[in-house]
């Protein structure tokens, strides 16, 4: 009994089916990347505290995609800043620091990520305390931007998702070409 020989016309339906399955698989694989990428880009890692002399203090959290006003309070409601100290979860257990704004309405961290240098946190503490001691003519502006990590990771996820969609589009075009060849060989 001899085995049938595979010809181009007999193999063509399998090619179109295989490329179509691969295109769908690439789209399905791209979906988690396209969901997680923007989610990671939306990490509110930039924290801004703006206080007008004798006026209102506004606290904003900003990501690469959105900006939200977290809190608004009168200058009288600001009680000060405390520097939180803890140990890092890393192996060497170095101390880490984060300034926290204490108000009558609650506590608000002024850093998204903990700082490894105590001077960074105490500099913000001194800046706010100096403003509270003398809320003269100059406004207070404290900005800490920790969005770089979310840009790297979220951008990479989004990029991979987009590349997978481009590849899926190319596979879909190949599927279409294989289907045309299949129809042509079937009519011949």
**Same domain, residue pair 135 and 60:** yes
Domain co-membership, 127 together with 105: yes
Q: Say yes or no: 167 and 103 in one domain.
A: no
Residue with the larger pLDDT of the pair 188 and 28: 28
Q: Indicate whether 111 belongs to any domain.
A: yes
Q: Are residues 87 and 26 in the same domain?
A: no
Give CA torsion, residues 17, 21, 23, 25, to 10 deg.
-170
Q: In this predicted structure, what is the pLDDT of residue 105? A: 87
Number of domains observed in the structure of the chain: 2
In a domain, 50, yes or no: yes
CA distance 64 to 149: 11
- Alpha-carbon distance 177 to 180, whole Å? 5
How much is the pLDDT for 36?
96
Query: What local confidence, expressed as pLDDT, does residue 186 receive?
Result: 75
For residue 167, tell me if it sits in a domain: yes
| Judgement on whether residues 50 and 96 belong to the same structural domain of the protein | yes
Residue 181 lies in a domain: yes
- pLDDT value of position 102: 94
Residue 106 in any domain: the answer is yes
Same domain assignment for residues 86 and 177: no
For residue range 176-186, list pLDDT tens digits in order: 888 888 788 77
Q: Does 155 lie in the same domain as 139?
A: no
What lies within 8 Å, CB to CB, of 165 at 6+ separation is 26, 27, 30, 34
60, 34: one domain: no
The pLDDT score that the predictor gives to residue 91 is: 63
Mean pLDDT over all residues of the chain? Answer: 88
Residues 37 and 51 in one domain: no
Specify if 1 maps to a domain. Answer: no
Over residues 52-73, mean pLDDT: 92
pLDDT band at 16 (very low <50, low <70, confident <90, very high): confident
Instruction: Tell whether 102 and 158 lie within a shared domain.
Output: no
Does 20 score more than 50 pLDDT? yes
Q: Is residue 13 part of a domain?
A: yes
Residues 130 and 167 both lie in one domain? no
Percentage of residues in the chain having pLDDT higher than 90:
61
pLDDT of 172 reads 92
- The pLDDT, as a whole number, for residue 12 is 47
pLDDT of residue 134: 84
110-117: average pLDDT: 91
Determine the structural domain holding residue 88 and report its residue range: 46-146
Helix (H, G, I), strand (E, B) or coil at 9: helix
């Amino acid at each position: 009994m001899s085995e049938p020989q595979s010809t181009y016309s007999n193999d063509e339906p399998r090619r179109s089916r295989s490329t179509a399955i691969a295109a769908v698989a690439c789209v399905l694989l791209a979906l988690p990347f396209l969901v997680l990428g923007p989610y990671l880009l939306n990490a509110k890692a930039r924290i801004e505290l703006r206080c007008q002399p004798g006026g209102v203090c506004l606290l904003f959290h900003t990501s690469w995609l959105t900006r939200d006003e977290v809190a608004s309070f009168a200058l009288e409601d600001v009680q000060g800043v405390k520097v939180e100290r803890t140990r890092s979860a890393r192996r060497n257990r170095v101390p880490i620091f984060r300034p926290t704004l204490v108000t009558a309405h609650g506590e608000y961290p002024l850093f998204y990520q903990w700082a490894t240098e105590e001077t960074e946190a105490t500099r913000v503490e001194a800046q706010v305390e100096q403003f509270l001691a003398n809320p003269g003519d100059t406004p207070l502006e404290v900005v800490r931007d920790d969005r770089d990590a979310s840009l790297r990771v979220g951008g990479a996820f989004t990029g991979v998702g987009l590349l997978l969609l481009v590849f899926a589009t190319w596979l879909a075009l190949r599927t279409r070409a294989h289907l045309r060849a299949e129809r042509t060989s079937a009519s011949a």
